Amino acid sequence: MATIGNGKRPINIAILGATGVVGKELLKILAQRNFPVGKLKLLGSERSKDLYMQFKGKEFPVEVAQEDSFKDIDLVLAAVSADVSKKFASIAISSGATVIDKSSAFRMEASVPLVIPGVNSHALHNHKGIIASPNCTSTPVVVVLKPLSDLFGIKRVIVSTYQSVSGAGTPGIDELEDQVRASLRGDKQKPQVFNKPIAFNVIPQCDSFNKDGYTKEEEKVIQETRKILELPDLAITCTAVRVPVLVGHSEAILVEFDEPASVEKIREILKTSEMIELWDNPDETVYPTALDAAGKDPVFVGRIRKDTSSANGFHLWVVADNLRIGAALNAVRIAEYLLEKKLLRQAVHS
């Protein structure tokens, strides 16, 4: 199939799940980065029909996703559940579109590249019409570990996450806000989105539990990190925790290297990454928080220190906007790379 090269005609785009928090962020980022959008189609569920959304000052209707929704579409940015992605991805591909999917539906399929541009961009050169974008928790982990792995090699990784409610979409945000207001009034609200009250609380569960006691979210971090870093036997474990924060996932990472390292050398390496911003001066209380990362593109790193309990272990505190670099921005960066390298399939236009 023919491909579209940089500098050619504008790209016809469909956003599947346009009214969700990631869908809205996709629209914002496409405008901010001046992506060459031609025809724009906003797709949602029955609940979203009759709605309108703005893009670059113009109003666009939200249409109910149907089998014929992808006619003349070059690129589908999918920000929906795995079930919905599985339903529509093959239809979009058969229509000639390239699909960049944010769900977990295809991430671990051997034939589907799981990509963070700047980390494993090379994997995009072999795509077969669908590309998976990683979990919003895995992405900052891998962005930080990749340059360190290349230099020192990695023996073991322990990740502890502190994840914002926006990781559960608009319902998660609404539940936190509603519970905060109710709690301040002295009222109680029964949880709907989360299994425990989230207001003024910390919940040691993100997603459902597997038989081994790990949650699906923890499994995603483990398996996706291995796939993207191309280290299938990497010793890595994770505990994922939900916290009452609107936007921004925070992560405490303990990494043990194969080769000798130092705090100074780690800082030097991370400073060279265009995707990382170093905030690391504890004496001046300089370290990133979720509020610092919200609305920003970089992965922020601070509190880099030697682990006193292991020979070659180091702690890193990592924070990122889960809706941007963790989701929408990564998807747009994939699209930009496909366009630049002429890897975007061209739909058959009637």
Mapped onto helix, strand or coil, the DSSP state of residue 215 is strand
Listed in sequence order, the DSSP H helices in the chain are 21-32, 82-94, 138-152, 169-185, 216-229, 263-271, 290-293, 329-340
Q: Which of 136, 206, 315, 349 is catalytic?
A: 136
Q: Please state, in angstroms and rounded to a whole number, the distance separating the CA atoms of residues 180 and 345.
A: 47
Distances (CA, A) of 235 to 8, 37, 83, 119, 156: 45, 42, 30, 20, 5
Listed in sequence order, the residues at least 6 apart from 154 whose beta carbon sits closer than 8 Å to its beta carbon are 145, 148, 229, 231, 234, 255, 256, 257, 258
What stretch of H or E contains 3?
strand 3-4
Q: Which of 127, 206, 238, 249 is catalytic?
A: 249
> Is residue 11 a contact partner of residue 344, using CB atoms and an 8 Å limit?
yes
Listed in sequence order, the residues at least 6 apart from 212 whose beta carbon sits closer than 8 Å to its beta carbon are none
Q: Among residues 348, 347, 342, 350, which one has the least CA distance to residue 4?
A: 342
Place of tokens 């990362």: 293
Written as six digits, the tokens of 33 are 């980065």
Place of tokens 């936007």: 247
Task: State yes or no: is 206 an active-site residue.
Answer: no
Place of tokens 């601070």: 302
Task: State yes or no: is 238 an active-site residue.
Answer: no
- Residues tagged active-site: 136, 249
